[in-house]
Structure 1
Amino acid sequence: MAGGSIPHFQNDAGHTVVEIGVKEFKCVGANPPFDHPHVYLDMGDDSELVCPYCSTLYRYNNSLQANETRPANCLYVVQAA
């Protein structure tokens, strides 16, 4: 995602699939303090990717914006230090 910030996603609720509107992102697992290392993931030409830490299946959905997820509330907002 050149020229923009990389969205971060979390899966506190343990959803089987989280649909997102980007193919490059970071997965944090659950919200801190229960997060895993914030890992950069890139789907490339694929439309699905499994996080190697938390096993969340992320699925690209081009009808969603970069800050939207389905189910809702899986966007993680990075807090300034």
Structure 2
Amino acid sequence: MADHAIPHFANDAGVSTIYIGAREFMCVGAKPPFDHPHVFLDMGDDHEIVCPYCSTLFKFSRTLHADETDPAGCLWRTPAPA
């Protein structure tokens, strides 16, 4: 499967805030199999949004690319088929 057109972010570390470089994205909670329903979130003109499932606060950062996060490592990609 190809990489997602919309970035997917996971919060395995359980941090309260993740800075991201995208305003539209999917939150998966923790990485599978501990994920919650994959929810599409759109900040619109705002600079932050809270996931209604895991309560992670996502904040937009202009200094990050769409596939970057702070803390690093929160981008989730679908594993390649075996």
State the TM-score, normalized to the length of structure 1: 0.92
Q: Which residue of 2 aligns with 1:13?
A: 13
User: Helix, strand or coil for the counterpart of 2:19?
Assistant: strand
How far, CA to CA, are the matches of 2:38 and 2:80 in structure 1? 15
Whole-angstrom distance in 1 between the partners of 2:62 and 2:78: 23
How many residues end up aligned between the 2 structures?
Answer: 78
- The residue that corresponds to 2:47 in the other structure is 47
Distance in 1 (CA, whole Å) between partners of 2:57 and 2:80 is 28
Displaced runs of 4+ in structure 1, greater than 3 A? none
Q: Distance in 2 between matches of 1:58 and 1:52?
A: 11
Question: Sequence identity of aligned pairs in percent?
Answer: 62
Any residues of structure 2 matched to 1:1-81 within 5 Å, and which? 5-81=5-81
Q: Distance in 2 between matches of 1:47 and 1:25?
A: 13
* Alignment deviations for residues 34-70 of structure 1 (CA, whole Å, 9 cap, x no partner): 0000100000010000000000000000110011000
Contact 1:8 1:78 in 2 (8 A): no
Residue 21 of structure 1 contacts residue 67 of structure 1 at CA under 8 Å; is this kept in 2?
A: yes
Q: Which consecutive unaligned segments of at least 5 residues does structure 2 have?
A: none
SS at match of 1:19: strand
Amino acid at match of 1:34: F
Shift of 1:18: 0.1
